[in-house]
C-alpha cells in the first residue's frame, strides 16, 4: 500500500531550480522505503554506489536514485574535472540562489 501512495509527482510539484537555474523536478528526488515509511531524498547516491547490490533483495527496490556521481567519490570527494553541475550537487554559498528551491502546488481546495 505504501508503495502506491503518490508522494512527489508532477501534479504536486511546481517549479524546481538549482542555483537559480530552472530544472525539471522529475529526476531530482529519490525514494527509499524505511521502517517509518517513504523517505524522499535530494542529492542521494544510487544503490550501486552505496551497497553491494548483488546481496540485497530486488522485489521492492528501496533505493530509487539513478544519478551517477561521475567526478566524486566517498574517499576523495570531488576531482579536478568536476564542474559546478557535477552530481552530487554542492552548494557554492548561502542563500536561496546557492542551493535547491522547490515550489509545491497547493491542492487543498477546501481551505480558503
Query: pLDDT, tens digit, for every residue of 48-91?
Result: 777 776 766 666 555 666 778 889 888 898 999 999 888 888 88
- Say if 53 falls within a structural domain: yes
Query: pLDDT, tens digit, for every residue of 81-107?
Result: 999 888 888 888 888 788 888 888 776
Number of structural domains found in the chain: 1
User: Cα–Cα distances in Å, from 104 out to 24, 59, 60?
Assistant: 13, 31, 27
- Say if 41 falls within a structural domain: yes
Sign of CA dihedral 22, 19, 43, 87: positive
- Say if 90 falls within a structural domain: no
Asked if residue 108 has pLDDT above 90, the reply is: no
What string of H, E and C letters represents the secondary structure of the chain? CHHHCCCCCCCCEEEEEECCEEECCCCCEEEEEECCEEEEEECCCCHHHHCCHHHCCCCCCCECCCCCCCCEECCCEECCCCCCCCCCCCCCCCCHHHCEEEEECCCCCCCC
Look up the domain containing 56 and give its range. 2-67
- Say if 96 falls within a structural domain: no
| pTM across the whole model | 0.67
Report how far residue 76's alpha carbon sits from residue 68's, in angstroms, rounded to the nearest whole number: 16
Phi, psi of 48 (to 5 degrees): -60, -25
Query: pLDDT, tens digit, for every residue of 1-39?
Result: 555 665 666 667 778 899 888 988 877 888 777 788 778
Amino acid at each position: 500500500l505504501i508503495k502506491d501512495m503518490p508522494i512527489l509527482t508532477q501534479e504536486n510539484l511546481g517549479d524546481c531550480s538549482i542555483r537559480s537555474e530552472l530544472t525539471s523536478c522529475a529526476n531530482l528526488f529519490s525514494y527509499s522505503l524505511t521502517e517509518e515509511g517513504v523517505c524522499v531524498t535530494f542529492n542521494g547516491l544510487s544503490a550501486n554506489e552505496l551497497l553491494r547490490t548483488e546481496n540485497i533483495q530486488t522485489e521492492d527496490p528501496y533505493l530509487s536514485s539513478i544519478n551517477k556521481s561521475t567526478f566524486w567519490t566517498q574517499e576523495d570527494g570531488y576531482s579536478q574535472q568536476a564542474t559546478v553541475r557535477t552530481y552530487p550537487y554542492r552548494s557554492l554559498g548561502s542563500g536561496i540562489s546557492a542551493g535547491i528551491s522547490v515550489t509545491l502546488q497547493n491542492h487543498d481546495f477546501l481551505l480558503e
